[in-house]
């Protein structure tokens, strides 16, 4: 199984990326191959000026076409997901998530916006034709201790929710509709 991870925070260090790194480790321990991307892998001008010919965007689209699933993480910005992430998603082909299972992860300053993934990000993932978008994981900032050593820690309740979501993701990857070779050729 092959999964793309995409960190949607423009900032580093990043709490939402902590959830992503934890998830990657969990999946790698179960034999899943991860290809990790973050917004800094892309030219800011390409994102801002919608350069559909960006080599990095094309490389991501090609990797996605071959992958089984997507882990996508974002901070909540102004009651939605990050605008920088949107500039990237806008450049993906229309069916970029066809046949993919997607697990969204989000962090926010307060639980007031814990549904931002549901009402803002999920419609975009559906527009990209994701086969299955799982119930995501939201954490508020107090649940991730960034200064812990040697690495940031999650409060136990969050760690448990994340593990449950990853179990579901892993099972969904296992049962997903396999992409046909002819479709891969069409996308490439
Ligand atoms: C520009 C900006 C806007 C934000 N807007 C919200 C918001 O509307 N609701 C919320 O709960 N948190 C908001 N926050 C807090 C972030 O979502 C929160 O700190 C998040 O964990 C940051 O994730 P990151 O470290 O991965 O960037 C905002 C933060 C910034 C910088």
Tell me, using a 6 A CB cutoff, whether residue 20 lines ligand 1.
Answer: no
How many angstroms separate the CA atoms of 75 and 68, rounded? 24
Specify the DSSP class assigned to residue 158. H
Choose which residue among 38, 109, 147 to substitute to test ligand 1 binding: the one with the highest number of ligand atoms within 8 A of its C-beta.
109
Rounded mean pLDDT, 17-46? 98
Q: Residue 128: which of 39, 60, 80, 175 has the closest Cα? A: 60
- What pLDDT, in 10s, does the model give residues 159-173? 999 999 999 999 999
Query: Do 16 and 80 touch, CB atoms closer than 8 A?
Result: no
Average model confidence (pLDDT) for the chain?
95
Map out the domains of the chain as residue ranges: 2-187
Q: What angle do CA 6, 7, 12 make, to 5 degrees?
A: 155
pLDDT-based confidence at residue 13 (cuts at 50, 70, 90):
very high
Q: d(Cα 138, Cα 103) in Å, to the nearest integer?
A: 11
Per-residue pLDDT at 53 = 97
What is the share, in percent, of the chain residues with pLDDT greater than 90?
A: 93
Token pair in block for residue 39: 């917004």
Q: How many CA atoms lie within 13 A of 142 on its CB side?
A: 2
pLDDT band at 177 (very low <50, low <70, confident <90, very high): low
Ligand 1 centroid to Cα of residue 19, in Å, is: 15
Length of the chain measured in residues: 188
Question: pLDDT (tens digit, 9 = 90+) per residue, 122-146?
Answer: 999 999 999 999 999 999 999 999 9
C-beta of residue 174 within 8 angstroms of C-beta of residue 55: no
User: What integer pLDDT is reported at residue 25 of this predicted model?
Assistant: 98
The 10s digit of each residue's pLDDT in 54-102 is 999 999 999 999 999 999 999 999 999 999 999 999 999 999 999 999 9
d(CA 32, CA 20): 14
Evaluate the CA torsion angle 181, 99, 160, 81 in order and state its sign: positive
Alpha-carbon gap, residue 81 to 75, rounded angstroms: 6
Domain 2-187 has CATH 3.90.550.10: no
188 — pLDDT class (breaks 50, 70, 90):
very low
Tell me the mean pLDDT in the region 9-31: 98
pLDDT tens string 68-81: 999 999 999 999 99
Provide the token pair at 83. Answer: 């605008």
Region 104-121: mean pLDDT is 96
Q: Is the dihedral of CA 154, 157, 162, 164 positive or negative?
A: positive
Residue 75, ligand 1, Cβ within 6 A: yes
């Amino acid at each position: 199984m092959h999964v793309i991870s995409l960190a949607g925070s423009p900032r580093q260090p990043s709490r939402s990326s902590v959830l992503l790194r934890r998830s990657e480790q969990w999946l790698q321990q179960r034999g899943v191959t991860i290809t990790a991307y973050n917004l800094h892998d892309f030219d800011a001008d390409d994102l801002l000026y919608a350069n559909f010919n960006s080599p990095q965007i094309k490389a991501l689209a090609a990797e996605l076409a071959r992958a089984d699933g997507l882990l996508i993480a974002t901070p909540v910005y102004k009651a939605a997901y990050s605008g920088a992430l949107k500039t990237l998603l806008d450049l993906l082909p229309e069916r970029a998530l066809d046949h993919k299972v997607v697990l969204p992860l989000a962090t926010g300053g307060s639980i007031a916006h814990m549904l931002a993934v549901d009402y803002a990000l999920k419609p975009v993932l559906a527009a990209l034709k994701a086969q299955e978008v799982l119930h995501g994981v939201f954490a508020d900032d107090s649940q991730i201790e960034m200064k812990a050593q040697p690495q940031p820690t999650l409060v136990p309740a969050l760690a448990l929710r994340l593990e449950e979501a990853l179990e579901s993701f892993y099972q969904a990857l296992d049962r997903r509709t396999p992409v046909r070779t002819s479709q891969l050729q069409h996308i490439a």
